[in-house]
Amino acid sequence: MPQSQPSSTEITQILARYVAESNFEDIPQPVREEAIRTFLNWLGCAVGGSHHETLDIAIAALAPFSGPAQASILGRNEKFDILHAALLNGISSHVFDFDDTHLRTVIHPAGPVVSALVAYAEYAPVTGKDFLHALILGIEVECRLGNSVTPEHYDVGWHITGTTGVWGAAAAIGKLLSLDTERMAWAFGLAATQPVGLREMFGTMTKSFHPGRAAQNGLTSALLAARGYTSSHQAIEAKRGWANVLSTRHDYAEITENLGSTFEILRNSYKPFACGIVIHPTIDGCIQIRNQETLAADQIQSVDVLVHPLVLELTGKLTPQTGLEGKFSVYHAAAAALIEGDGGEEQFSDRAVQDAGIIALRGRVKAVSSTSIASDEARISITLTDGRVIALHVPHAIGSVARPMSNSELENKFRGLTTSIVGAEKTAELIELCWKLESLEAVSQIATVASL
């Protein structure tokens, strides 16, 4: 453990004071803009995932115990108390694995933080400015905690989104509640003592439970601390505190240095495609070729892709049977992208995986891996029945840090997720509300439009 510069008994205090004393006016414009992009992306995912079986089951199980109808379940017509709403919206925002990623830590930052904020903002009036401020600070706390214990904490088996997400949600709601430094530290203590998420749960419904429960736990922590429920003042750095108990590595400088001058949300990224990030370069390239050439499937004799070794290790399934299995088949993903021009949830549905045209084409896709190819890179070569060869190099896939999704691409992703659920008109209205989030009098109107 590297001992860091500030007295190592003050780490939690420094972080709590920063959140308690931060002013929105001091948040730079690019940070605010990225926060809006993060919010838009989260909102699309939450609405898009809202009719997944996972959410149906959670709602059926928990509805009998919900409090007053305080907050919306986005994309649906049920209303729950804010604690349950934070959990349920958090589940749906992660259920497609399509939400944002802080690449250094692999935290999905918005799930815990924004799910708590959106629920709370339906209970008490929250302006767009205060909402954005809380969102930025929540993600800052969450990702700094993550930076301080990366990679050992994740490597040993913690789902870092859930374990740091509780902190993020507590910080965000604590800011809305105007907690002073002492109470913010108590909220952190309550968050520290409720980590959520083992990686063993990946591949089951419990994975998307993690950001939801983290949102609910963080919200609960802030509400308790606001009333004077006491906790440790040294939740991070104490001998038996969060960092020592949950990680073999902790670099406290990651938490305390440059607070207020650097912002982790600027390192956030958004997935263009509804699958593991390793096949994104292939999908990206196939869509580019399709759009340039307007090819029909029967013109294609063979597709050769040269990819990073992880692609075949993780997504080498030749004959997927279900939509979920399709996410683990670079062959399916390439064929679906060439025929349908996208890599959204629709292209990873049971329908797409069982589509005769896609099945036929995927049989003509060959993938070869090479250590000379980077993880966000692909080389694609398509041989046509007329003998022509179309080759494309994707040096950095769309959605990578080097080539972030544009606002317009984020809007397209959003439309793909929400239109079938809330309709085109409300989808357009939601996109407009998101871009003017900072000037909204009451953020609750977004949840009103986003629910049924």
Q: In this complex, which beta carbon is closest to a second copy, that of residue 140 or of residue 237?
A: 237
Burial class, 108, CB count within 10 angstroms (exposed 0-12 / middle 13-18 / buried 19+): buried
Contact 116, 169 (CB under 8 A): yes
The only residue of 20, 134, 238, 397 in contact with a second copy, by rule CB under 8 A: 238
**Residue 441 phi, psi (nearest 5):** -70, -40
Smallest distance from the beta carbon of 22 to a second copy, in angstroms? Answer: 24
**Site residues for a second copy, window 7-66 (CB under 8 A)?**
54, 57-58, 60-62, 64-66
The only residue of 22, 150, 220, 282 in contact with a second copy, by rule CB under 8 A: 220
Instruction: Determine the Cα–Cα distance for residues 93 and 42; give it in Å rounded to an integer.
Output: 6
Smallest distance from the beta carbon of 210 to a second copy, in angstroms? Answer: 7
How many chain residues touch a second copy (CB under 8 A)? 58
The only residue of 196, 255, 394, 431 in contact with a second copy, by rule CB under 8 A: 196
Q: Is 125 in the site for a second copy (CB under 8 A)?
A: no
Candidates 16-24, 109-117, 188-196, 389-397; binding stretch for a second copy (CB under 8 A): 188-196
Q: In this complex, which beta carbon is closest to a second copy, that of residue 103 or of residue 245?
A: 245
Q: Is 245 in the site for a second copy (CB under 8 A)?
A: yes
Q: Is the dihedral of CA 198, 205, 319, 307 positive or negative?
A: negative
Q: Is 192 in the site for a second copy (CB under 8 A)?
A: yes
Q: In this complex, which beta carbon is closest to a second copy, that of residue 204 or of residue 322?
A: 204
Instruction: Determine the Cα–Cα distance for residues 431 and 310; give it in Å rounded to an integer.
Output: 35
The only residue of 46, 226, 305, 443 in contact with a second copy, by rule CB under 8 A: 226
Q: In this complex, which beta carbon is closest to a second copy, that of residue 22 or of residue 216?
A: 216
Residues that bind a second copy (CB under 8 A): 54, 57-58, 60-62, 64-68, 70, 81-83, 156-159, 162, 186, 189-190, 192-201, 204-206, 209-210, 213, 220, 223-224, 226-232, 234-235, 238-242, 244-245
